[in-house]
Chains A and B, each alone.
Chain A
Amino acid sequence: MARAVTNRHKTIATIAAWAVALVIFFPILYTIITSFKSEQEAIQGFSLIPSGTLESYAEVQSQYNYFKPFMNSVILALGSTLLALVVAIPAAWSMAFSPTKRTKDVLMWMLSTKMMPAVAVLFPIYLIFRNLGLLDSRIGMTVMLMLINLPIVIWMLYTYFREIPGEILEAARMDGATLWGEILYVLTPMAVPGIASTMLLNIILAWNEAFWTIRLTTTNAAPLTAFISSFSSPQGLFWAKLSAASTLAIAPILIMGWFSQKQLVRGLTFGAVK
């Protein structure tokens, strides 16, 4: 009896989970479907069955340069992630392994910057970028994206490093390891999964960032987010083309996310249960 109830509960929970997932995923799914429609079909109304034409893709490819914003997205996402790791690893390391009385406060302060509405600093940041000549530059955007995600990167790495027992590092020190030996042979191999999932998440966050990338770039450093928004052009909306461009923009990250979902989930829930 108890078994039957459990099984029924399981079925209901599974169906509910799939339903919620579908609702969340639906806009993306509909974008992909629309991208395979002609412009005519696209404005005709709701339909889940496209004609399967590739004309929107062809047009996006021929009329607009997809490659440049794509490369910009890659450069900004990877660049800001690597830069963030260079800053965050030593920061998380020192807070995890030699914390002071203020470590908790510093962590909270860093997280609190994520709670601030970005619009509040739009003008100051814009003016700073303009005065430093960083507007529409890849270097400026890389630094900007790095700074935006840095608190999360530090937090994630800190949580990971905290899971590594301090005694193991002490054992390495007793065994004669220098600081480099300790980092190279003991810490890094143990922290690789954590560093990898932090990287993955940060790449996704940087790839999807749309507030600053749209406002601080025009052409040179414009990534795919800016590329998509440029489709809401004065000539009116071309739904099919917009969908094709959006699909092209999210495809790389969607594929990457799909293949690394196990790693990602582990990364996001790490330290939650032990």
Chain B
Amino acid sequence: MGKIALRNVSKSFGTTSIIPNIDLDIEDGEFVVFVGPSGCGKSTLLRLIAGLEDTSGGTISIDGRDVTNEAPAKRKLAMVFQSYALYPHMTVAKNIAFPLKMAGESQEVIDKKVGDAARVLNLTNYLDRRPGQLSGGQRQRVAIGRAIVRQPSAFLFDEPLSNLDAALRGTMRLEISELHNQLKTTMIYVTHDQVEAMTMADKIVVLNAGNIEQVGSPLDLYRSPKNLFVAGFIGSPKMNFVNGAAAAKHDAATVGIRPEHLRITSNSGEWRGKVGVAEHLGADTFLHVHTDDVGTINVRADGEIGVRHGDIVYLTPDPAKLHRFDADGKAL
């Protein structure tokens, strides 16, 4: 079981408030991603749940048990760190066995569980090596191995993929999702990468300056962001924002339109503009269009579109996909 509940949780360092006041429920077996720009408090929130930081107020409970003042070891959670945090003086086998040894398991049980974990993670041939002799991806797998042998009630991941190169990041993303499907254990995953958040999460928690801006499934957040921050943070390329007269026409202070929800034509449309940079990605083309009335607009167009730098084009937003915001940035 791994149902985690936060009530009025706050954290401040000295007079600086990092997390003002947070309520959050994480259901058993859910894959929850905390996402936000750096310094938004997402790692702090994870460390509060882990018990590595003390709360300044509020309560944290796991499966209905109040763990606010319990030591990390007593919370039955496992954590995978950004730096992997492997024990450099121990072999891979000893690293994975460490939590079992601390729990006082017999050597027989330890050997079996380490063997199983190594098989799942493709580490069988590396059990006698030291962390220093492994690649980044292998190290991350050892860190995951160390986390799974204890059968914790939840896994905590603190930006586990940010030290890996792009290709490996994609593979490890899949492996972690696969692992979640197999184990069905609650996972809390912290990242600043909204692509990771969108692809892996059952539920995304968007954080900004210590506040929860919105909680929802990836598509919920994509389709109906509650405010300008979420609208701008979720989705790649970023949503275009238009103010002034063009927005007033739609009875809003700001309107937002995603690059993929703009129709591009060569003779007539709502906004006229000149193509600046055209990025051809093969399947898609990203166009940066300098319009006469509403500034630079990013457009996601078909990969085969025959538009080049300097061409005059007309853009028309899909009215059904238009996001309207009031003067405070709240969605209308």
Interface range on chain B (Cβ under 8 Å from partner): 20 to 34
Tell whether A168 pairs with B73 under 8 Å between CB atoms, given A174-B50, A175-B102, A176-B150: no
Count residues of A near B (Cβ-Cβ below 8 Å).
17
B286 on interface, CB distance cutoff 8 Å: no
Does A167 contact B89, Cβ atoms closer than 8 Å? Answer: no
User: B126 → chain A, closest Cβ, in Å?
Assistant: 19
Contacts of B85 in A (CB 8 A): 165, 167-168, 170-171
Chain B 65-94 against A: per-residue CB contact (8 Å), 1 yes, 0 no? Answer: 000000111000111011101111100000
Does A185 contact B98, Cβ atoms closer than 8 Å? Answer: yes
A190 on interface, CB distance cutoff 8 Å: yes
Of the candidates B72, B86, B146, B150, the one whose C-beta lies within 8 Å of that of A173 is: B72
Chain A 233-248 against B: per-residue CB contact (8 Å), 1 yes, 0 no? Answer: 0000000000000000
Does B99 contact A176, Cβ atoms closer than 8 Å? Answer: yes
Does B83 contact A190, Cβ atoms closer than 8 Å? Answer: no
Does A178 contact B83, Cβ atoms closer than 8 Å? Answer: no
Contacts of B72 in A (CB 8 A): 170, 173-174
B103 on interface, CB distance cutoff 8 Å: yes
Does A176 contact B79, Cβ atoms closer than 8 Å? Answer: no
Q: Which residues of A in the span 155-190 have a Cβ within 8 Å of any Cβ on B?
A: 165, 167-168, 170-178, 181, 185-186, 189-190
Q: What is the CA–CA distance of A177 and B101 in the complex, to the nearest angstrom? A: 9
Q: Nearest A residue to B76 by beta-carbon distance?
A: A176
Q: What is the CA–CA distance of A211 and B73 in the complex, to the nearest angstrom? A: 51
Chain A 246-269 against B: per-residue CB contact (8 Å), 1 yes, 0 no? Answer: 000000000000000000000000
Q: What is the CA–CA distance of A37 and B113 in the complex, to the nearest angstrom? A: 72
Q: Nearest B residue to A190 by beta-carbon distance?
A: B89
Contacts of B86 in A (CB 8 A): 168, 171
Does B77 contact A168, Cβ atoms closer than 8 Å? Answer: no
Q: What is the CA–CA distance of A91 and B86 in the complex, to the nearest angstrom? A: 26
Contacts of B52 in A (CB 8 A): 170, 173-174
User: B97 → chain A, closest Cβ, in Å?
Assistant: 10
Tell whether A173 pairs with B73 under 8 Å between CB atoms, given A167-B83, A181-B102, A185-B98: yes
Does B71 contact A165, Cβ atoms closer than 8 Å? Answer: no
User: B82 → chain A, closest Cβ, in Å?
Assistant: 8
User: A106 → chain B, closest Cβ, in Å?
Assistant: 18
Contacts of A168 in B (CB 8 A): 85-88
Shortest beta-carbon contacts, A-B, top 4: A171-B85, A175-B99, A176-B102, A167-B85
